[in-house]
Copies of this chain bind each other. A is one copy, B any other.
Amino acid sequence: MPADLLSPAELEARLRDVGARRYHSLHPFQIRLQSGQCSRTEVEAWALNRYLYQACIPQKDAQILARMENADDRRAWRQRIVDHDGEHEGEGGIAKWLKLTDDLGLDRETVTSGRLALPATKFAVTSYISFVRDRPLTEAVASSLTELFSPSVIKVRSEGMLANYDYVTPETLAYFNKRPVQAKRDSDFALAYVTEHARTRAEQDAVIAALEFKCSMLWTMLDALEHAYIYAKPWPDAFHAEDGAARQAAE
Residues on A lying within 8 angstroms of B by beta carbon are 21-22, 28, 118-120, 122-124, 126-127, 130, 212-213, 216-217, 219-220, 223-224, 226-228, 231-232, 235-237
Q: A123 to B217, Cβ gap below 8 A?
A: yes
Can you offer 21 A-B residue contacts whose CB atoms are under 8 A?
A118-B220, A119-B213, A119-B216, A119-B220, A120-B123, A122-B127, A123-B123, A123-B217, A126-B127, A126-B130, A130-B130, A216-B237, A220-B224, A223-B227, A223-B232, A223-B235, A224-B224, A227-B227, A227-B231, A227-B232, A231-B232
Q: In the complex, what residue of chain B is closest to A133 when comparing beta carbons?
A: B130
Q: Is the interface of A mostly helix, strand, loop or mixed?
A: helix
Q: In the complex, what residue of chain B is closest to A129 when comparing beta carbons?
A: B130
Q: B217 to A235, Cβ gap below 8 A?
A: no
Q: In the complex, what residue of chain B is closest to A126 when comparing beta carbons?
A: B127
Q: Chain B nearest CB: distance from A124 CB in Å? A: 5
A-B contact sample (7 more), CB < 8 A, given A220-B224, A223-B232: A118-B220, A120-B120, A120-B124, A123-B123, A123-B217, A212-B237, A224-B224
Q: Chain B nearest CB: distance from A217 CB in Å? A: 7
- Which residues from chain B contact A227 at a C-beta distance below 8 Å? 223-224, 226-227, 231-232
Q: B217 to A226, Cβ gap below 8 A?
A: no
- Which residues from chain B contact A28 at a C-beta distance below 8 Å? 232
Q: Chain B nearest CB: distance from A132 CB in Å? A: 12
